[in-house]
Amino acid sequence: MTEFLPTANLSLILCCYANLTPQMQIIRIANSPDFYLERVAFPGEKLLFRAPFDAQLEVHTGMFVSSILSDTIACQTLKVKQPDALGAIADRLD
């Protein structure tokens, strides 16, 4: 897991991504100059993470040595609808 912690004034939203494929994926946010996130998503796994509202989640799928960018998703579409309960869980993970 790789995360670049944001500056204090960056507003973040709680997001959830589910890997519904039978393959391992790498999810990455790299389009924000003040924020970077990279995590492995195993098949069937759901990941909670915080990201800037305007961030783009890159989903890389592939085998051992190579991977391809298979999707780009706006983080605002992954925003958790009721973040209060899940936010407490995510706070423990940060």
3-state helix, strand, coil in the chain (%, to 5): 15, 50, 35
Number of H helices, E strands in the chain: 1, 7
Taken in order of first residue, the domains within the chain and their CATH numbers are 2-93 (2.60.40)
Structural contact between residues 83 and 17, judged by C-beta atoms closer than 8 angstroms: no
Structural contact between residues 40 and 9, judged by C-beta atoms closer than 8 angstroms: no
Looking at residue 74, what is its pLDDT? 86
Q: What is the band of 88 on the pLDDT scale with cuts at 50, 70, 90? A: low
pLDDT tens, 27-66? 999 888 889 999 999 999 999 999 999 999 999 997 666 6
pLDDT of residue 8 exceeding 60: no
pLDDT tens, 67-83? 788 888 888 889 988 75
- The arithmetic mean of pLDDT across residues 23-30, rounded, is 92
Structural contact between residues 58 and 30, judged by C-beta atoms closer than 8 angstroms: yes
